[in-house]
Amino acid sequence: MKIKYLIVTGLCTLALAAIIVRSCSHLDRDSIQGDWITGTDEEKLKTIERQFRGLDIAMIETGYRYQELYWAGQDENWECAKYQLEKIKLTIENGLQRRPKRTKSAEYFLTGVLPEMQKAVENMDTVAFNKEFNVLAASCNSCHILEKVSFFTVRVPFQRQSPIRK
C-alpha cells in the first residue's frame, strides 16, 4: 500500500511539473521587465554585469574578510578563521571569473599562500598563523603591484573594527 501511494504521488508530481514547464515555455520572455533592469535579454544581462562589476567590489569583501581573519587568528577562533579563509578564496575566484585577465596575478595567492594559511588555521597554531598572515599581506601587495594598483598597500590590521569576538 505504501509503495502504491509513493508511485501515485510521484506520478502526480511528475505530471504537475510537466504542466508547469509546458506553460512556462509559452511565456514571451522579452515582455518580462524589471523596474530598472529593462530592455532585451542582452541589454538586461549587460546591466546585471555592470552591477556586479569586476574585482573592485570583490576586493572590498576580501578586505573585510582579511581583517576578520586576522582578528579570528588573534582570538584563536579557528572556526571563524577557517570560515573567513573559505570566503576570501570564493570571493577572489568569483572576482576572477568576472575579470579573467587578472587570474595570473592571483594564481600564487590561491594555490600557495591560502593553502599555507589554511594549514596554520587547521593546526590551531597562532605563531604559524601570524607568520603566514604576514606572507598573506605581502602576497596581496605583490598582486597589487603586478596589477598596477600599488597604491593599495595592505598592512596587518592594528585596530579592530568588527564587534565579532570569540
Looking at the predicted structure, is the pLDDT value of residue 2 above 90?
no
Identify the domain containing residue 78 by its residue range: 53-146
Cα–Cα dist 85/103, whole Å:
18
How big is the chain by its Cα radius of gyration, in Å? 23
H helix runs in 25-77, sequence order: 41-52, 55-74
Compute the average pLDDT of residues 118-146: 97
4: in domain: no
Specify the number of domains making up the chain: 1
Determine the pLDDT at residue 36: 87
107: in domain: yes
161: in domain: no
160: in domain: no
Determine the pLDDT at residue 35: 87
34: in domain: no
- How many Å from the N-terminal Cα to the C-terminal Cα in the chain? 53
Task: Give the pLDDT band (50/70/90) at residue 52.
Answer: confident
Indicate the pTM of the whole model. Answer: 0.76
Compute the average pLDDT of residues 14-22: 52
The contacts of residue 115 (CB under 8 Å, 6+ apart) are none
Q: Do 91 and 65 touch, CB atoms closer than 8 A?
A: yes
